[in-house]
Amino acid sequence: MANVVVVGSQWGDEGKGKIVDWLSNRADVVVRFQGGHNAGHTLVIDGKVYKLSLLPSGLVRGKLSVIGNGVVVDPHHFVAEIEKLSAQGVNITPEVLMVAENASLILSVHQELDAIREGSNTGLKIGTTKRGIGPAYEDKVGRRAIRVMDLAEPDTLKIKVERLLTHHNALRRGLGLSEIKTQVIVDELMQVADRILPYMGQVWRLLDEKRRNGARILFEGAQGALLDNDHGTYPFVTSSNTVSGQAATGSGMGPGAIDYVLGITKAYTTRVGEGPFPTEQNNEIGQFLGEKGHEFGVVTGRKRRCGWFDAVLVRQMIKTSGINGIALTKLDVLDGMKEIKICVGYELNGKKIDYFPASMGAQQDVKPIYETLDGWSDTTRGARTWAQLPASAVKYVRHIEELIGAPVAMLSTSPEREDTILVHDPFQD
């Protein structure tokens, strides 16, 4: 049995929630390995909607769920999300949920700094969710973060907070803000310490034991590979690595633990926030895709930017994430379009290129080169076999496979879990 990593191959919002839920039914353990509560997953089970942004999706299915060391954890949101799911009838106990003792915490000082930066009239706007994710990762790499395990040591917590505030109060003075007293942060943490500590554990040890015992582990990525801090559209990216390699680092396992990488890929392209988007359609096509696809952020409610499928970007992310196969989602949104375009290359300064450049200036200047395919009038929604798909839809899917250099392992034709065409089960790799 294989261990599977699920990553988004675009800018996030590819429909990972449904696919992760579909796969979690076959998994024994579900692991979050990066990000925070800035990216949401929506699950629809028997008509009931569950919205998660920090907790692993496997919890809804009663699977052992793990928050790895690569995640930054807002302890107050952690408690609130548990309460929300519990109110929906999901049974959450330390027997089914573990959070890594060495995961870094998001504090109120991080959220305030994030909001101030994003709301400033000067500097570069990234389009963050203002939830403190970036500043928390900054403190982590700056070796001054407060970690989950620190909540269990109240006698030394004050010293650690003082060290953190030496940095933050200097920043606050420069921004013309009042300084924060150490006790304020200590009290903030102590309010929820008793609620989070029962879930704390050695994730690396647990996952090693499960793997040795033959458990099937599903690594659940948040956001998309194009938001990766190294390989994405920098600086319009998130503050963590979102490619599949982070699954090992962010959970305390070696790279040999990864057997199959599934890239969730939307049949068109969307993006939330600022940054380059070569195939964006600021016209009736973009409006059609947005309205029919219900393209609004789970966490923020922000309207997503919409455009044609970009095979160049997806092909590049397939290489940087080592994607073995894709799950193509939201094909039904394209139903009824007379013609559909796919970006197959770019033009930059009069030259054709087959990759997305790393430079911010070049990313803004590339112009898409399109191929045009026939659309289809019949519906693909709810199809569960290839035979139920219109011929033009099958042609579209097959052409995507050729252009990106990876096969379609799964094809999703509606938000419902059962409306899925399975070509290859990643757990059987």
Tens of pLDDT, residue by residue over 131-188, are 899 999 999 999 999 999 999 999 999 999 999 999 999 999 999 999 999 999 999 9
Q: Which of 13, 74, 114, 228 is catalytic?
A: 13
pLDDT of 122 higher than 70: no
Mean pLDDT of the chain: 93
Pick the more confident residue, 19 or 300.
19
* Helix pair angle (108-119, 154-174), 10° resolution: 20
Band (76; pLDDT cuts 50, 70, 90): very high
The average pLDDT across 97-120 equals 92
The predicted structure's pLDDT at residue 298:
61
| pLDDT value of residue 296 | 81
pLDDT class for 121, splitting at 50, 70, 90?
Answer: low
pLDDT value, residue 299: 60
- Whether residue 45 is predicted with pLDDT greater than 80 in this model: the reply is no
Handedness of CA 266, 268, 272, 277 (dihedral sign): positive
pLDDT at 422: 93
Residue 1: what pLDDT?
A: 63
Neighbour-count burial for 28-51, b at 16+ CB within 10 Å, e otherwise: bbbbbbbbbbbbbbbbeeeeeebe
Q: How far apart are CA 53 and CA 17, in angstroms?
A: 10
**pLDDT score recorded for residue 124:** 64
Across 106-134, average pLDDT: 81
Please give the pLDDT value at position 44. 75
- Report whether the peptide linkage leading into residue 276 is cis, meaning its omega lies within 30 degrees of zero: no
Percentage of the chain surpassing pLDDT 90?
82
- Per-residue pLDDT, averaged over 277-296, amounts to 94
Is 378 in the active site?
Answer: no
Q: What is the pLDDT of residue 57?
A: 87
Distance CA 60, CA 210 (A): 20
3-state secondary structure of 96: coil
Query: Which of 20-24, 41-45, 49-53, 350-354 is predicted with the least confidence, judged by mean pLDDT?
Result: 41-45
Total Cβ atoms within 10 A of residue 149? 14
Rounded Cα distance, 167 and 290, in Å: 42
- The 3-state DSSP composition of the chain as helix, strand, coil percent (nearest 5) reads 40, 20, 40
For residues 244 and 34, is the Cβ–Cβ distance under 8 A?
no
- Whether 77 is a known active-site residue: answer no
Is the Cα torsion angle 85, 129, 101, 243 positive or negative in sign? Answer: positive
Please determine, for residue 363, whether its predicted confidence score (pLDDT) is greater than 90: yes
**What pLDDT does residue 20 have?**
86
Mean pLDDT confidence for 394-405:
98
Q: Is the pLDDT of residue 314 over 70?
A: yes
**What per-residue confidence (pLDDT) applies to 7?**
96
Residue 210 scores a pLDDT above 80: yes
What pLDDT was estimated at residue 400?
98
pLDDT at residue number 273? 84
Helix, coil or strand: residue 121 = coil
Region of residue 355 (phi > 0: left; psi between -120 and 50: alpha; otherwise: beta): beta
**Amino acid (1-letter code) at residue 374:** D
Asked whether the whole model's pTM tops 0.85, one would answer yes
Range list of H helices, 215-300: 246-249, 284-292
Single out the catalytic residue among 41, 76, 168, 231: 41
- Inform me whether the pLDDT recorded for 390 exceeds 70: yes
Look at phi and psi of residue 382 and say left if phi exceeds 0, alpha if psi is from -120 to 50, else beta: left
Report pLDDT for 416: 80
pLDDT at 38: 80
